[in-house]
């Protein structure tokens, strides 16, 4: 295989990985965020007390997280087909990726919000804030650096997960590595894929860290 | 009685408000608070609390940690609900308010905290703006309001600093400015100086005093430090194990503590050397010396009583600590002396106290 062919294959796969990670990361986070907020604020005596609902959602989240991703990909094929009209290809792969992202991100959001000093919630209540105002003006504002870190961690995990959706023809870098590097005995392709993935993860991580730092006022020095 | 007279004569802000307004700013009537299940397993945090805070005054509630003072102050703005009795703020019963009413009330009550509770993601300016944003005040009005508030607390030049860039005292000043943002009529202070060093504590207390005087704001504070109460509170209630064991004008309570808890709290404010405080026993053994606090105020402050005491008891009197301070705006001297615990000496001393009207308190016995 020529070098040009290799590069063009890698670029195509990189595009597929980027598409899957970006869309499922965005959708999954958007849905996971409110779920995470709810999990962090609906315990007994908290802002939106609903301990029963909290436990049920917690159970569903745990169940989703404990299902091995590759099994979930296969198990939800009917749902995937219902949403995208097909069960194979990059678009179809976005469905299980999104569904895996939601509980993952939700738990990270929950942890980020629980980290916030309860004194701040009390202070806001003492000012006459509504629970919604507390969520938006206090919790989300204060958790911003931690939420940014959670988003970064989610994106990095998604890059890993996206390697598995080759099983349903999702394409992407992981799929390229398996099909060419492993099945066609092209160690140079495997190496190239691994290097590209390392660089990609590194870039995502650095960008996320930089954003998290820019939001963080806790250790700012004048 | 001398104490009463002295207090009535000069105690600042005493009861002048009661004559113009019959409704106290805060009133506790038979208030109790239980946590957890009724009966076994529950915990009684507060019981039989009767207490009022006069309009325009600074009232202190002092107690050791776990005495229930945090719960008590949270009943005032409804952060906790009383299980029995009623709490009223400016005549409005807090327990009868719904969520909306409670939020309205809270906007009229400022609160400051031991750990400041400032948002780390907001500048000093934006922290002070927060209660205004919550109340739905528009941006222009917020801007007009926050600047002068920061000036008032002496942080006009720190508006754009984040809490992490401010010292503890400066953070508490931001906290105070924030608490004043909605023009409250009552300020609650929850151990506001406990995390600060003595010097900063004094400057924050001075600020609270000034705000009380200039804005006519009523202040209710809780603390475990006698120093705080002594410096700014005109009235004090001592709380122990969920009950108010003693209350009255700070000066009276300080001059004549009637409850054991009050005495303990006072003793820790006496500036006795640590080794001496550690060696105090409550029961004397043979050859011990009795440790006595002599209190000077009003008339007794100007009489040469110490000299006469020494003359009365011979050269046996040992002066261990002493000082003059201002409590509730009045000069107040105390002197810690020790002399032989021999019954005959003690009887002579007590005779002398009775004749001269000197207020005394036996702190204990030392070797």
Which of A171-175, B52-56, B357-361 is predicted with the least confidence, judged by mean pLDDT?
B357-361
CATH number for the domain spanning B64: value is 3.40.50.300
Instruction: Categorize the per-residue pLDDT at B6 as very low, low, confident or very high, splitting at 50, 70 and 90.
Output: very low
Is A222 a member of any domain? Answer: no
Is residue B75 within a helix (H) or strand (E), and if so which, with residue range? Answer: helix B69-76
Pick the last residue of a domain from B198, B232, B259: B259
- B346, exposed or middle or buried, with CB in 10 Å at 0-12, 13-18, 19+? middle
Higher pLDDT: B109 or B2? It is: B109
Question: Which of A105-109, B33-37, B275-279 is most confident?
Answer: A105-109
Higher pLDDT: B288 or B131? It is: B131
Q: How far is B168 from chain A (nearest CA, A)?
A: 14
Instruction: Categorize the per-residue pLDDT at B21 as very low, low, confident or very high, splitting at 50, 70 and 90.
Output: low
Facing residue for B115 by CB, picked from A119, A133, A219: A119
* B102 contacts in chain A (CB < 8 Å): 128
Is A220 a member of any domain? Answer: no
Rg of chain A on CA atoms, in Å: 20
Domain housing B358: 270-366
Instruction: Categorize the per-residue pLDDT at B93 as very low, low, confident or very high, splitting at 50, 70 and 90.
Output: very high
Q: What are phi and psi of B319, to 5 degrees?
A: -95, 125
* Shared domain check, B177 and B49: yes
Q: Are B77 and B109 in contact (CB under 8 A)?
A: yes
Is A90 a member of any domain? Answer: yes
Q: Where are the alpha helices (DSSP H) in A76-221?
A: 77-84, 90-114, 118-126, 131-133, 140-162, 173-176, 187-215
* Shared domain check, B237 and B280: no
CB-based contact (8 Å) between B36 and chain A?
no
Mean pLDDT of chain A: 93
Predicted local confidence at residue B8, as pLDDT: 37
Is B190 a member of any domain? Answer: yes
- The 10 Å Cβ neighbour count of residue B308 is 14
Predicted local confidence at residue B326, as pLDDT: 74
**From CA B7, how far away is CA B51, in angstroms rounded?**
20
- Residue closest to A139 by CA, chosen among A111, A125, A120, A122: A120
Report the number of distinct structural domains present in chain B: 2
SS3 A222: coil
Token pair recorded at residue B102: 């409670």
Q: How far is B209 from chain A (nearest CA, A)?
A: 22
Is B264 a member of any domain? Answer: no
* Shared domain check, B308 and B179: no
Chain B residue closest to A128 (CA)?
B103
* Shared domain check, B355 and B212: no
For helices A140-162 and A3-41, angle between their N-to-C axes, nearest 10 degrees: 140
Q: Are A195 and A203 in contact (CB under 8 A)?
A: no
pLDDT in tens, A74-97: 999 999 999 999 988 999 999 999
CATH number for the domain spanning B295: value is 3.30.70.260
Share of residues in chain A with pLDDT > 70 (%): 98
pLDDT in tens, A31-77: 999 999 999 999 998 999 999 999 999 999 999 999 999 999 999 99
Predicted local confidence at residue B176, as pLDDT: 97
* Shared domain check, B292 and B242: no
CATH number for the domain spanning A208: value is 1.10.3720.10
pLDDT at B15 over 70: no
Token pair recorded at residue B41: 């397993």
Tally the residues of chain B. 367
* Region class of B52: left (phi > 0), else alpha (psi between -120 and 50), else beta: beta
Predicted local confidence at residue B100, as pLDDT: 94
**From CA A143, how far away is CA A149, in angstroms rounded?**
10
Facing residue for B120 by CB, picked from A128, A137, A218: A218
- Residue closest to A193 by CA, chosen among A205, A204, A207, A180: A180
**From CA B213, how far away is CA A63, in angstroms rounded?**
61
* A128 contacts in chain B (CB < 8 Å): 102-107, 131, 134-135, 182
pLDDT at B268 over 70: no
pLDDT in tens, B200-222: 999 999 999 999 999 999 999 99
**DSSP code string of B258-320:** -SHHHHHHHHTTS---HHHHHT-BSS--TT-EEEEEEEE-GGGGGS-HHHHHHHHHGGG-EEE
* Shared domain check, B304 and B188: no
Chain B residue closest to A119 (CA)?
B117
CB-based contact (8 Å) between B167 and chain A?
no
Predicted local confidence at residue A75, as pLDDT: 93
pLDDT in tens, A163-176: 888 878 888 999 99
Q: Are B292 and B363 in contact (CB under 8 A)?
A: yes
**From CA B173, how far away is CA B188, in angstroms rounded?**
14
Provide the chain A residues 129-148 that lie in CB contact (below 8 A) with chain B. 129-130, 133, 137-138, 141-142, 144
- Pairs of residues, one from chain A and one from chain B, whose beta carbons lie less than 8 Å apart: 73
Higher pLDDT: B29 or B19? It is: B29
* Shared domain check, B289 and B226: no
Contact A117 B117 (CB under 8 A): yes
pLDDT at B271 over 80: no
- The 10 Å Cβ neighbour count of residue B154 is 14
Instruction: Categorize the per-residue pLDDT at B5 as very low, low, confident or very high, splitting at 50, 70 and 90.
Output: very low
Q: Taking residues A1-26, report their average pLDDT.
A: 94
Domain housing A147: 3-215
Contact A123 B113 (CB under 8 A): yes
Pick the last residue of a domain from B200, B227, B259: B259
CB-based contact (8 Å) between B182 and chain A?
yes
Report the number of distinct structural domains present in chain A: 1
pTM for the model: 0.84
SS3 B259: coil
- B223, exposed or middle or buried, with CB in 10 Å at 0-12, 13-18, 19+? buried
* The B109-113 sheet, strands edge to edge: B109-113, B186-190, B218-223, B58-62, B235-240, B243-249
* Shared domain check, B191 and B57: yes
pLDDT at B24 over 80: yes
The ipTM is 0.89
Chain B residue closest to A136 (CA)?
B134
Is A137 a member of any domain? Answer: yes
Share of residues in chain A with pLDDT > 90 (%): 86
**From CA B172, how far away is CA B197, in angstroms rounded?**
12
- The 10 Å Cβ neighbour count of residue B100 is 10
Is A71 a member of any domain? Answer: yes
* Shared domain check, B253 and B291: no
**From CA B338, how far away is CA B249, in angstroms rounded?**
29
């Amino acid at each position: 295989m020529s070098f040009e062919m290799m590069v063009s294959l890698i670029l195509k796969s990189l595009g597929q990985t980027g598409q899957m990670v970006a869309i499922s990361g965005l959708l999954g986070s958007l849905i996971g965020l409110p779920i995470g907020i709810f999990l962090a604020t609906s315990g007994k005596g908290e802002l939106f007390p609903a301990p029963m609902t909290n436990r049920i959602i917690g159970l569903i989240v745990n169940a989703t997280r404990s299902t091995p991703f590759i099994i979930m990909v296969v198990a939800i094929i009917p749902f995937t087909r219902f949403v995208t009209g097909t069960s194979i290809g990059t678009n179809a792969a976005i469905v299980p990726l999104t569904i895996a992202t939601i509980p993952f991100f939700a738990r990270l959001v929950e942890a980020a919000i629980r980290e916030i000093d309860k004194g701040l919630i009390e202070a806001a209540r003492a000012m006459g804030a509504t629970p919604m105002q507390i969520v938006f003006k206090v919790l989300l504002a204060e958790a911003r650096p931690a939420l940014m870190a959670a988003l970064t961690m989610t994106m990095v995990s998604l890059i890993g997960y996206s390697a598995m959706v080759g099983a349903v023809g999702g394409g992407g870098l992981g799929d390229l590595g398996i099909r060419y590097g492993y099945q066609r005995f092209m160690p140079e392709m495997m190496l190239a894929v691994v290097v590209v993935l390392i660089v990609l993860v590194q870039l995502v991580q650095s960008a996320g860290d930089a954003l998290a730092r820019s939001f963080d006022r806790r250790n700012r020095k004048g | 009685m001398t104490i009463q007279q002295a207090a009535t004569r000069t105690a600042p802000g005493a009861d002048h408000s009661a004559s113009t307004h019959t409704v106290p700013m805060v009133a506790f009537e038979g208030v109790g608070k239980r946590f957890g299940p009724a009966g076994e397993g529950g915990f009684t945090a507060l019981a039989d609390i009767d207490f009022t805070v006069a309009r325009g005054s600074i009232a202190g509630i002092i107690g050791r940690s776990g005495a229930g003072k945090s719960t008590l102050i949270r009943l005032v703005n409804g952060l906790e609900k009383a299980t029995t009795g009623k709490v009223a703020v400016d005549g409005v019963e807090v327990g009868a308010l719904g969520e909306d009413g409670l939020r309205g009330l809270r906007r009229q009550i400022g609160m400051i905290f031991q750990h400041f509770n400032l948002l780390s993601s907001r500048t000093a300016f934006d922290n002070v703006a927060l209660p205004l944003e919550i109340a739905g005040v528009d941006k222009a009005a917020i801007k007009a309001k926050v600047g002068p508030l920061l000036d008032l607390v002496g942080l006009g030049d720190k508006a754009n600093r984040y809490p992490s860039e401010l010292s503890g005292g400066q953070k508490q000043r931001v906290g105070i400015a924030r608490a004043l943002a909605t023009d409250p009529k009552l300020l609650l202070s929850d151990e506001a100086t406990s995390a600060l060093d003595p010097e900063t504590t004094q400057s924050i207390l001075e600020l609270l005093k000034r705000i009380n005087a200039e804005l006519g704001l009523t202040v209710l504070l809780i603390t475990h430090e006698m120093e705080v109460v002594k410096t700014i509170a005109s009235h004090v209630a001592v709380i122990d194990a969920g009950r108010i064991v003693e209350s009255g004008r700070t000066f009276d309570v300080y001059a004549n503590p009637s409850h054991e808890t009050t005495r303990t709290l006072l003793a820790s404010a006496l500036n006795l050397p640590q080794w001496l405080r550690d060696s105090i026993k409550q029961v004397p053994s043979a050859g011990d010396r009795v440790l006595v606090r002599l209190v000077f105020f009003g008339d007794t402050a100007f009489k040469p009583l110490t000299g006469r005491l020494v003359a009365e008891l011979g050269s046996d009197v040992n002066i261990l600590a002493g000082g003059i301070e201002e409590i509730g705006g009045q000069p107040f001297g105390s002197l810690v002396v020790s002399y032989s615990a021999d019954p005959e000496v003690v009887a002579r001393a007590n005779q002398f106290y009775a004749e001269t009207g000197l207020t005394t308190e036996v702190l204990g016995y030392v070797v």
